Amino acid sequence: MDHPLHLAVAEELQRSLVGDAELIRDPACGGAQHLPLFVGPVKRRERRICDVDGLIVSGGRVRVIIEIEESGFLPTKICGKFLQAALATHFIHDSRKKATLPYADRVLFVEVLDATKCLRPGGCKDVQGQMIEQEIKSLLPMKRSRLTDYRLFFVHGPEDRAGLAAVGEAVTDVLGVAV
């Protein structure tokens, strides 16, 4: 399946990395593996809570979680993936030298939505998206969760250089902060 926005976001994030930060991509973003998040440090099927589109790790810890939605705007999907990631505590994958990577003390969750598929002239999805972002931010940090920041971006397709740059800047800002 073709995922042009996933690939464009991943390329922008790759350019935004600083220090020892590493972008890990799922297949839609040009990677070769699914990116499972787990509740706790033990890899067990009942502990696997979700897969995400991308992760940025630094210092042996998950610093940024990336989710990209190209099919439209559904608040239940947006809020659901955020909550699943908030419940998780580790990325675990056998392909890694260190198979179990815990969340850092401060983790950013980035949600990127394809504006060309969900924003319509005269519609209210942009306002609803801003409201969702503000409401989620008002809940952070959540008790027992290491997700400390949330950003939602509407990017107008893979050619939207300004929109993609805003995503990259948000990640760079977080990576510049010590954990």
Q: What is the 3-state secondary structure (H, E, C) of the chain?
A: CCCHHHHHHHHHHHHHCCCCCEEEECHHHCCCCCEEEECCCCCCHHHEEEEECEEEEECCEEEEEEEEECCCCCHHHHHHHHHHHHHCCEEECCCCCCCEEEEEEEEEEEEEEEHHHHCCCCCCHHHHHHHHHHHHHHHCCCCCCCEEEEEEEEECCCCCHHHHHHHHHHHHHHHCCCC
Mean of per-residue pLDDT scores for the chain: 92
Least confident of 14-23, 110-119, 120-129, 138-147: 120-129
| Share above pLDDT 70 across residues of the chain, in percent, rounded to a whole number | 98
Tens digits of residue pLDDT in 20-77: 999 999 999 999 999 999 999 999 999 999 999 999 999 999 999 999 998 878 889 8
Q: How would residue 79 be classed by pLDDT, with cut points 50, 70 and 90?
A: very high
pTM: 0.94
State the pLDDT confidence band at 99, using cuts at 50, 70 and 90: confident
